[in-house]
Amino acid sequence: MIGPEIDELMRLLARLPGLGPRSARRIALHLLTHRDELMHPLADALVSTAEAIVPCRQCGNLDTTDPCGICQDPGRDPTSLCVVEQVGDLWALERTRVFRGRYHVLGGTLSALDGIGPEDLRLAELIERASAPEISEVIIALDATVDGQTTAHYLADSLSGAGVTVSRLAHGVPVGGELDYLDDGTITAALNARRPI
């Protein structure tokens, strides 16, 4: 009843994260009824972005240039490296505008279950970058999950010979978080890491 073109469009939309068959149908219909304002511009944006954006060979960030804007920026602190799992984590950290050093995108975390070992991550590149004389600190900003923390400890071990300070993000109560809704692990971590006011 609905033609194969729309079916294919809905099938592809349904594969986007957070969308399912119903929301894909709704979006496909919205696109078809807003062709000039939305459908054509979106198609153009997809094509031009797919062509323009390349991964940075140095840090793994996505940008229009390689090395990326952050790696090329002379205003960035050359002494510190922040290790993140994915580009989305890099974006999240950049939004805070607190960290002024450079990044290293690991491309994943170690996972015995998923068969991801050290050789599947950009680990050799990290050790090489961290061993450069100008680097003094490596901040490990991985997820506070089991895989993330396992990877963090593995990284700390691997970096022990690089002559750098290795640190990780603090655990604790999220800003705006209510104690009543927090898990025991977070409360324990926050209590153990308590600080004088």
Residues at the site binding its own copies, with contacts judged by CB under 8 A: 1-3, 5-6, 8-9, 12-13, 15-19, 23, 25-33, 35, 38-43, 45-50, 52-53, 62-64, 69-70, 86-88, 91, 94
Give Cα 114 distance to the centre of its chain: 19
One-letter amino acid of 119: E
Tell me the closest approach of the beta carbon of residue 48 to its own copies, in angstroms: 6
Tell me the closest approach of the beta carbon of residue 189 to its own copies, in angstroms: 26
Please say which residue, 116 or 189, places its beta carbon nearer to its own copies. Answer: 116
Tell me the closest approach of the beta carbon of residue 165 to its own copies, in angstroms: 25
One-letter amino acid of 34: H
In sequence order, the β-bridge partners of residue 143 are none
Please say which residue, 53 or 169, places its beta carbon nearer to its own copies. Answer: 53
Tell me the closest approach of the beta carbon of residue 77 to its own copies, in angstroms: 15
Report the alpha-carbon distance of residue 138 to residue 156 in Å, rounded: 9
In sequence order, the β-bridge partners of residue 139 are 82, 167
Where do we find the tokens 């496909």? 28
DSSP string, 57-105: TTT--EESSSS-HHHH-TTS-TTEEEEESSHHHHHHHHHHT---SEEEE
Please say which residue, 48 or 188, places its beta carbon nearer to its own copies. Answer: 48
Report the first-to-last Cα separation within the chain, whole angstroms. Answer: 67
The two structure tokens encoding residue 36: 């000039």
Please say which residue, 148 or 172, places its beta carbon nearer to its own copies. Answer: 148
Please say which residue, 38 or 169, places its beta carbon nearer to its own copies. Answer: 38
Tell me the closest approach of the beta carbon of residue 37 to its own copies, in angstroms: 9
